[in-house]
Structure 1
Amino acid sequence: MTTHPALTAASRLAAAAALLALLSVLPWLSGRDPARSILRAQYGEREPDPAALTAIRDRLHLDDGPLTLSRRWLTGLTHGDLGTSWVSGHPVAPTVWQSLAVSLTLMGAALAVALTVTALLTGRRLRHGPTRPRPGGTGAALAAVPEFLLGTLLLLTGAVWLRWLPPFGWSTPAHLVLPALALGIPAGGLLGRLADDALPGAYREPWTRTWRAAGLPWRTLAHGALRRCLPPLFPQLALVVVGLVGGAVAVEILFAIPGLGRVALGAATAQDLPLLQGAVLALLAVATTAGALAATAHRLALGPARTAAAIAAPPPPDPPTHHHRRWLLPAVLAGLLGATTLAGLTGDPTAVDLNLRLAGPTLDAPFGHDALGRDILARLGHGALHTIGTATAVNALALLTGLAAGLLPRLSTGAVEVANTLPPVIAGLLVAAALGPSTTGAAIAVAATAWAPLAAHTAALVQEERATGHVQASRMLGASPTRILRTHVLPGVLPAVTRHTVLRLPGTALAIASLSFVGLGAQPPTPEWGLLLAEAMPYVERAPWAALAPATALALLGAFAVTTATTIGTRGSRPRPATS
C-alpha cells in the first residue's frame, strides 16, 4: 500500500491545531469567570474581591478574548516561549519539562513491566502454538483490570499492610515500583492478548507446515511466527506508550506523582490556560514521536517477512469446537451479574440511614451499607443500568468510529494520536464545559478517546490483509476495491477488532464512573460502580465490604468481557490469512 507522508503529517497538524484551539476557549466555554477560577486557585475559598478580580483581568488581558490571547501564545511559541502561568506567575516551560521528565521516567518503567508481562504471556503460545488453538484468557483478564483499581490494591497491600514500599511521593527509585506495576500490568495484558490472538493465524499458514516438514527447530518456527505478527502490534505499542504518559492521571493522583497528566488536569481545573496548553503540547509531541517511530517500525516489519509469507490461498480453518461449551462460562458470569442487578433493583439506592453507617452484611443487606447507611446491593443493582448500559453504548460507538477511521489511516492518523493523547478527564472537562456535568457528557468524553486504539488496530490489520497473496490475486483478477473490502478485508479484520472492543468494556465503564467521581459525570446520589468504589476507599480498612462489592462487580464485568472475547475468537468462522 502506497504511503503518503504528507497526508499523514497534515492530519497530525490539523488535529493538533483543532485541539489547541478547543483548549484556548475552555475558560470562556465553561461559562465561569476565568478571574474567579484563578483567584480561587491562588487563595482557596477566599471570598472574591471585585478589585482583585479586576486586577487579574487587567494583568492577564482576559478582556481581549480567546482569539487574541491564543495569537499571542502562538507568537511566543515560535520563539520557544510557552508563556507564563496565570496562577503562579512563573514561566510554563520549566514546569512542563520537569513534569514531562517524571512522566517519561514512569513510562519507561511501566513499559518495561508491560513488555515483561507480554513476553511471559506469549512464551507459552510460541512454544506450543501449533497445538494450542484457543487464545489464553490471562492477558485479557489483566487488560480488563483498571489501573486505578490495581493501583489501589497495590497501595493497600505493598505500602499500607506489608510496608514494603513507600505509598506516595517521587523522591527515590522505590517510589517508582508501585505506579509502574499499576500501569504496566494492564498494558502488558493488552499487548499479550493481542499477540496471543495473532499467533494462531500465523501458525496456520502453509509456510509453517513447510518449515516443520523441513525439521526446523521450534525456536526458528516461533521466531518466524513472531516476526509475522509484529507489524499490527507496533501501532498498539505506540498508543500504549502515549497512554502511559498522558493517560496515567488517576495513577499519578493516587500515588501523588508530579507527572504531566496530573499537571494538565490541575491546569484545566484552575483554568490556567498557558500551563494547560503547554502540557497538552508536550503530550502531542510525545504522541507524534511515538506514532512516527511505530510507523517506521511497522513499515520495516511489513517488508520481506510479510511478502514471503503472503500466499494466494487462505490457511486451514480452526479446529471445530463445541458451541454450547464455549458459551457456558460467559453465560454463568452474565447470570451472576443479572441476578445481582435484579436483586438490587428491589431496594432503594438513595435511602439514607445514619444508624446503619458502614454496617456489615446481613440477610436484609447481603453486601452491607456504605458511609451514609445506604444499601450497597441496591446501589449496585441500580448502578448496573448506568455503568454497563452506558459503557456498552460507548463501546459500540467507539467500534463504529474506529472501523471507519481505520479504513482511512492517512487522514485519521493525526486524530488517532491526538485522541489517544488526551486523558479522558480533560476531555470530560471540555464536554462538561459545553454541556454541563451529566452521564451523557461523561459518555461523550470517553467516546471521544475510546475509538483511537480501535482505529489504530483496524488500520494495521487492514494493511496486513491488503498485503496478503489472495487479496493481491483478487486485485489482479479485476475485483473492485469495494468487493475486496467487503469479501476479504472486513471479514478478516472485524472479528479481531470486535474482540478488542469487548475487552475494553470494563475500562470504559470505570472511565465513565471516574468522571462522575470528579464531578464531571452523573451527580450524587446517582449510583455508579466506579463511584461506589471511590466512595468506599477511605473506609476500606474499617469496612472492606463497602469496597469489595463494587470491586467484585467490576471484576465480574471484566471476566465476562474476557470470556466473551475469547469465545468470539474461537467461533471457527472464516479463517484469517494473517494475524488477528
Structure 2
Amino acid sequence: MKTAFARGTALAAVLAALGLLPWLSGRDAALSVLRARSAEQEPTAEALAAIRDDLGLGSGPLTLLGRWAGGLLRGDLGTSWVSGTEVLPSVASGLGVSLGLMGASLAVALLVAAALCTGTVVRGARRGSGTRSGTGGAAAAMLASVPEFLLATVGLIVLGVWTGLLPTSGWQGPSSMVLPALAMGLPAGGLLGRLVDDALPAVFGERWVELWRASGVSPWRLACAALRRAVPALAPQFGLVAVGLTGGAVTVETVFAVPGIGRTALGAAKAQDLPLLQGAVLALLLLGLAAGALAHLVRVRLLGPGLRDAALALPAPPRAPAGRAARAVPVVLAGILLAVVGWGLTRDPYAVDVTARLLAPSRAHPLGTDGLGRDVLARLGHGATATVGVAVAVCLLSYLFAVAIGFLPALSAGVADIANALPPVIVGILVAAALGPGTAGASVAVALISWPPLAAHASALVEEVRAAGYLTAQKAIGATPRWILTRHVLPAVAGPVARHAVLRLPGIALALASLGFLGLGAQAPAPEWGLLLDESRAYVERAPWAALAPAGALALLAGFAVSLSSLSSVTGSSATGSSTTTARRRAEVAA
C-alpha cells in the first residue's frame, strides 16, 4: 500500500510539473511566442500583454494547471505557440513514426539477445552446464554500455557516408529505418542478452533440469522450459529496456532527422513551444509507463495464479576468478584515456585559426582540427576534465540521496518506479525547458534519475542488516536506536553503496555527454565530449576524424565501465558473504 501511494504521488508530481512548465520556466512565454510568430515585431508591452491574454498566461499556477488538466480530460493538448496548430495531431503523427521505429528496434534487440545467449542455451540444454558464455557475456556487456547517440553517429559515418549503403537522414521507406533501428536495438539487445545469459546458468543448475534430462526430454523442450523459468524474474528489466528505447528515440531521431515524437519533443524544447513539448513528453512518459505495466502483466501471466506474489529470484551464477588479462583491461583502457587527456591538456582548446579549418591529423594536430581550426586533441583533453568533474558531483549527490531514501524501502520503491520510467534525455528536455540548456540543467536532470539503482542496493542492505542476529542481541542489552544506526547499520550500507556509485560514474559521464550532444548540456564554446560530437556532424562527410575522436573517447569510457563493473562483480562475489551477495543480487533485480 505504501509503495502504491508513493508511486501515485510521484506520478502526480511529474504530471503537475509538466502542466506547470510554462510557469516553472521563469521566462516570459509571451516574448518567446512573439519571436516565434514574428521576428520583426517589436516586443512592446501592449503586444506582450495581448499574447498573454490570448494564451491565458496571466493567471496563476493553479489556474494554469487546472486548465491544462481539464484539456487532457477532454483530449485537448492545446495549441502550438509557434505554428498555431493543434498539438494533438502533431503528437499523434510523431508517435506513429516512433512506434514503428521502436518496433523495428525491439526486433533487432531480440535477434541480438538470441545470438548472444545461443551458446549458453545449447550447452545448458545438452549437458546441464552451469557456466555462462564468456564471449557472449563480454560482447553483451559492451553493447549494453554504448550509448545510442554514439552508435548512431558511427553508423552514419561508416554505413552512410563512407560506403553509401544506407540513407543517412529522412523517413522515406524501410531502408531509412535500418540505421536508426540498429542504433537503438544493439544496446537494448546487449542488455537483454546479458540479463538472460546471466540467469540461464543458475536455471540449468537446478534439480528439475537433471530430472527432465534423465526422463528423456529433448534438449529443445528443456531449453524452452529454462527460458520460461528465467523470464519472470527478468520481466521488470525487459520493461526498463523498452523505457530506454523511448529515451534513445530522441537522440537517434535527431541524428537521422526522423520525424518522430522524440525529435518533436527536442525541437519544441529548443523553440520554447511549451504546449507541443508538454504533449510530446506526456506521450513519451505514457509509453514508458505502458511498457512497465506490460512487463508486469507478462510476469504475472508466466508465473500463474499460484505464484503471482512470489519473487522467484534466481541465485547468482558461479563466476570464475578473474584472470590476469581481465584485470589488466580496465588499467589499459584507463591508461589510454589518461594519456590522451594529459596530452590534450597541454594545448589550447579555444585557439581559433580559420586558415587551418578541418585539417587532417598531422604532427602539428595529431587528431586534426574542427570547423573553426581548433585543435581536436586539445578540446578532447580539456573536455574530459569538465565531463568527469561534473559526473563526480552528480554521482556524489545521487549516492547521498540513495543512502538516505534507502532507509524507507516502501517510499524508495514507489518513487523509483516513476524515475525508472523517465530516461535521462526526457528529464533533460524538461529541465532545459525550465532552467535553460547548460551544465547545471544537465547535472540536475541526470541526478534526478541516477539514484534508483543505488537506492535499491541500499534498501536491500538495510533490510538484511536489520534482520541480522547480532542486532537483536544489541537491542536486548539496551543499545539505543541511534547507536545501532550509526555503529552498525549505516557503516554496513554506506561502504558497498559507495563502491556501487563509483562503478556508475562512467555511465553518468556518458549520460551527461548524451545531453551535451543534444544541445541540452554544456554550451559552445565549451569543449565537452558530447558537444564536440554534435558540432562535428555538420562536416562529417568532409572531416570524419573530428567526429571519430570524441566517439573513440566515449567508446573507451564505455569499455572502461564494462571491464571495471565485470571485474568488481567477480571479485565482490568471491570476497563477500552470502548475505551481501544476496543483497547485491536483489539490488540488481530491483534496479
Q: CA 1:496–1:567 in structure 2 vs 1: closer, same or farther (change >3 Å)?
A: farther
Q: For residues 435-474 of structure 1, what are the structure 2 equivalents within 5 Å? A: 437-452=437-452
> How far off its partner does 1:169 sit?
2.5
Distance 1:298 1:454, change over 3 A: farther
Shift of 1:252: 1.4
CA distance in 2, matches of 1:360, 1:102: 38
Contact 1:84 1:274 in 2 (8 A): yes
* Residues 215/539 of structure 1: CA separation in 2 closer, same or farther (3 Å cut): same
SS for the counterpart of 1:250 is helix
Matched, 1:35 2:30: yes
Cα distance per residue 1:251-300 (max 9 Å; x no partner): 11222222222222333333333333333333333233222222233345
Q: Which residue of 2 aligns with 1:154?
A: 155
RMSD over aligned CA atoms reads: 4.2
Q: What is the aligned partner in structure 2 of residue 278 from structure 1? A: 279
Partner SS state of residue 169, structure 1: coil
Quick one: distance in 2 between partners of 1:151 and 1:117?
17
Partner of 2:10: 15
Map of 2:352 onto structure 1: 352
Q: Distance in 1 between matches of 2:33 and 2:67?
A: 20
Distance 2:543 2:77 in 1: 47
Alignment match, 1:242: 243
Query: 2:308 & 2:225 partners in 1: Cα distance?
Result: 8
Judge conservation of contact 1:419–1:449 (CA < 8 Å) in 2: yes
Alpha-carbon separation, structure 2, partners of 1:157 and 1:315: 39
User: Contact between 2:322 and 2:567, CA under 8 Å: does it hold in 1?
Assistant: no
Measure the CA separation in 1 of the matches of 2:392 and 2:18. 28
Question: How far apart are the structure 2 equivalents of 1:232 and 1:281?
Answer: 29
User: 8 Å contact 1:243–1:420 — kept in the other structure?
Assistant: no
Structure 1 residue 59: Cα displacement: 1.0
Letter of the 1:126 counterpart: V
Counterparts in 2 of 1:69-468, with a 5 A limit? 69-128=64-123, 129-132=129-132, 134=134, 136-204=137-205, 218-219=219-220, 222-301=223-302, 318-322=319-323, 324-395=324-395, 397-398=397-398, 411-412=411-412, 415-432=415-432, 437-452=437-452
Q: How does 1:38-49 map to 2 (within 5 A)?
A: 38-43=33-38, 47-48=42-43
Aligned residues: 558
Deviates more, 1:507-516 or 1:301-310: 301-310
- Range with greater deviation from structure 2 (329-338 or 196-205): 196-205
Q: Tell me how far 1:145 sits from its aligned partner.
A: 1.7
Question: Which residue number corresponds to residue 540 of structure 2?
Answer: 540
Structure of greater relative contact order (alpha carbons < 8 Å, 6+ residues apart): 1
Deviations 1:54-107 (A, max 9, x none): 321121121113321221222233333333333333333222222222222222
Normalised by the length of structure 1, the TM-score is: 0.82
User: Could you tell me which amino acid in structure 1 is paired with residue 575 of structure 2?
Assistant: S
Matches within 5 A, 1:501-512: 502=503, 508-512=508-512
What's the CA shift for 1:229? 3.1
Q: Is the 8 A contact 2:157 2:540 kept in 1?
A: no
- Measured in 2, the distance between the counterparts of 1:181 and 1:370 equals 28
Map of 1:565 onto structure 2: 565
1:363 is displaced (CA, Å) by 2.7
Separation in 2, partners of 1:561, 1:111: 25
Change (3 A) 1:223 1:279: same
Alpha carbons of structure 1 residues 262 and 360: separation in structure 2 relative to 1, 3 Å: closer
Partner amino acid, structure 2, of 1:114: A
Matched-pair contact (CA < 8 Å) for 2:6–2:414: yes
CA pair 479-179 structure 1, distance change in 2 beyond 3 A = farther
The CA distance in 2 between the partners of 1:71 and 1:78, in whole Å, is: 11
8 Å contact 2:80–2:276 — kept in the other structure?
yes
Q: For 1:468-502, what per-residue CA distance to the aligned partner results, in whole angstroms no more than 9, with x for missing partners? A: xx99x999xx999x99xx99xx999x999978984
Letter in 1 for 2:72: L
The 1:533–1:496 alpha-carbon spacing in structure 2 relative to 1, beyond 3 Å, is: same
The residue type paired with residue 573 of structure 1 is A
Displacement of 1:244: 1.7
The answer as to whether partners of 1:370 and 1:546 remain within 8 angstroms in 2 is: yes
Name the CA distance, whole Å, in 2 between partners of 1:191 and 1:559. Answer: 18
Cα deviation for residue 184 of structure 1 reads 0.9
Kept after mapping to 1: 8 A contact 2:517/2:533: no
Cα contact 1:500–1:565 (8 A) shared by 2:
no
Distance 1:278 1:534, change over 3 A: closer
Partner amino acid, structure 1, of 2:11: A
CA distance in 2, matches of 1:433, 1:76: 21
TM-score by length of 2: 0.80
Cα distance in 2 for partners of 1:500, 1:115 equals 30
Aligned in 2, Cα 1:32/1:395: closer, same or farther, shift over 3 Å? same
Post-superposition Cα deviations, 1:179-236, rounded to whole Å, max 9, x if no partner, equal: 1111111111122122223334444556556666777665455445434432342112
Seq. identity, %:
55
* Unpaired segments ≥5 residues, structure 1: none
Q: Does 1:60 align with 2:61?
A: no
Contact 2:350 2:374 in 1 (8 A): yes
Q: Residues 203 and 18 of structure 1: is their aligned pair in 2 closer, same or farther, counting only changes over 3 Å? A: same
Q: Secondary structure at the match of 2:299?
A: helix
Amino acid at match of 1:377: L
